[in-house]
Every structure is written in structure tokens, then in C-alpha cells.
Amino acid sequence: MKVGLFIPCYIDQFYPKVGIATLELLEKFGCEVHFPPKQTCCGQPMANSGFEHLSNTCNELFVENFSDFDYIVCPSGSCTLHIKEHLHDSTNEESANKIRRKVYELVEFMTDILKVETLQSSFPYKVGLHQSCHGQRGLKLSQMSELNNLPFSKPQQLLSQVSGLELVILNRKDECCGFGGTFCVTEEAVSVKMGKDRIIDHKNQQVEYITGSDTSCLMHLEGILKRQGLPIKTIHIAEILNSAEGAIV
């Protein structure tokens, strides 16, 4: 299958290893992966700030870059959800509709489309899973604890296949970290307090790494961890799933 690799701005600029791990994972499972070099921001920051009407050119460019693929895959739940729910192009709405139906976050693509049941990966560390709001509540990557339904977690389903990984049970496994896109700028104090609360939960479980499917949330937590001088590291789930036996992270 022909896959278009959609890499968010902050991954491209600050965490390129996440994009590389995503590419390598998809290729391991037989995908023909293409990276449109002219892709830019999907427009989510503008939409979050109340300026969605100014993101039309972002939409048009996204449609231009990603119309010719069987699937579009992105290692970010928030950016994926934005495209699923907000991509429109007045000059080519038919293509925009098709893209909204075939864009997937990496974890859901691996579980729902590729049907991955076996991973040849190793990560011998104690890990806490941060389930980001967009992925959990928007893309339905995992069950919400307030619902009286059968529990499930697609990220956990994949992490359970990683050799040596010990996944801890958190006290509040689906609580927001406080990042919230531009929320962390407009409500800095609240955002930081929420992030500190999440870190305490992971710290109490003595994790070595915090992982998740949204680099933006991990970036927020990473900043707080560094300011507190804590030894806990953050790592995107793609890097764990792509990790090899004996690799040093």
C-alpha cells in the first residue's frame, strides 16, 4: 500500500527521530512510504486559537500534497484528529473528504489497518503510558475510565508485544497533562500544575520512561521533568515499537 507520511511541525523541527522511527516501522510492515517535501503545518494552532478561517491555504496545500495516497499516517493524535474533523478545501472538497477518511494516527493504523500482532522489538525499561486527550477521546485509541464499558487500549496492545518492557498501572491513567496546544500559552500556570500532577503519578510508580502517541504532550512533560531535575525520560511510542534488541535509547 502507498502511504503518505504526515509529520507535524514540532516533530520535524525538534524530534526528527520520531519521524524516522515512524518511517522505519511502516516500511518494516511492507508499506511503500512517501514523504511529500512541500508539506507544512496542518493549521491546528490557528484553529485552536480561534483563527480557523485563516488556515485555508494550509488546507489547500495539505490536499495538494496528500491526495494521491492509499492512506496518510501521522505520529500525532492531535494533528490527525484536526485533519479528520477540520480539513476542507473549497476548490477541491471531494479530495478533502477522501483524505479525512483515510488519515490515521500511527497506533490506530498499526492496530486497525496493518493488524500488527507481533513486534520484533525490545525495550527493557519500566514505562508509564500517557494517553493523550485527542487520541483517547477523539480518535478512541483507548477507553475512557468514566464510561462503564469494557476497557481497551490500542497503545497498550502494541506495547505488550515489546520484549522486556514493563508497563506500569497508573492511578489516573487518562488524565490530561495540561498541554492542550495553545492552552499551555494562554493558561500557563494551570497547564504546568496539571503537568506536574501527571508526573507525580508516573514518579510514584518509579517509571524510567513516559511514552505516548503525542509528542506535544511528551514535550510538555519533558520540560517539567527537566526543570524538576528528575531522571525520568520521555519517548514517543514509535521509538519504542521500532527499538531493536540491544539498542541504546
Confidence of residue 245 (pLDDT cuts 50, 70, 90): low
Where do the domains of the chain lie? 2-113, 126-241
Calculate mean pLDDT across residues 123-138: 94
Q: Which residues pair with 236 in a beta bridge?
A: 212
Confidence of residue 42 (pLDDT cuts 50, 70, 90): confident
Residue 59's contacts (CB-CB under 8 Å, 6 or more residues apart) are: 43, 87, 88, 89, 96
What is 126-241's CATH number, 3.40.50, 3.40.720, 1.20.1440, 1.10.3470? Answer: 3.40.50
Calculate mean pLDDT across residues 63-87: 96
Give me the DSSP letters along 65-107: HHTT-SEEEESBHHHHHHHHHH---TT-HHHHHHHHHHEEEHH
**Residues 17-26: b if buried by 16+ CB within 10 A, e if exposed:** ebbebbbebb
Residue 153 has pLDDT above 50, yes or no: yes
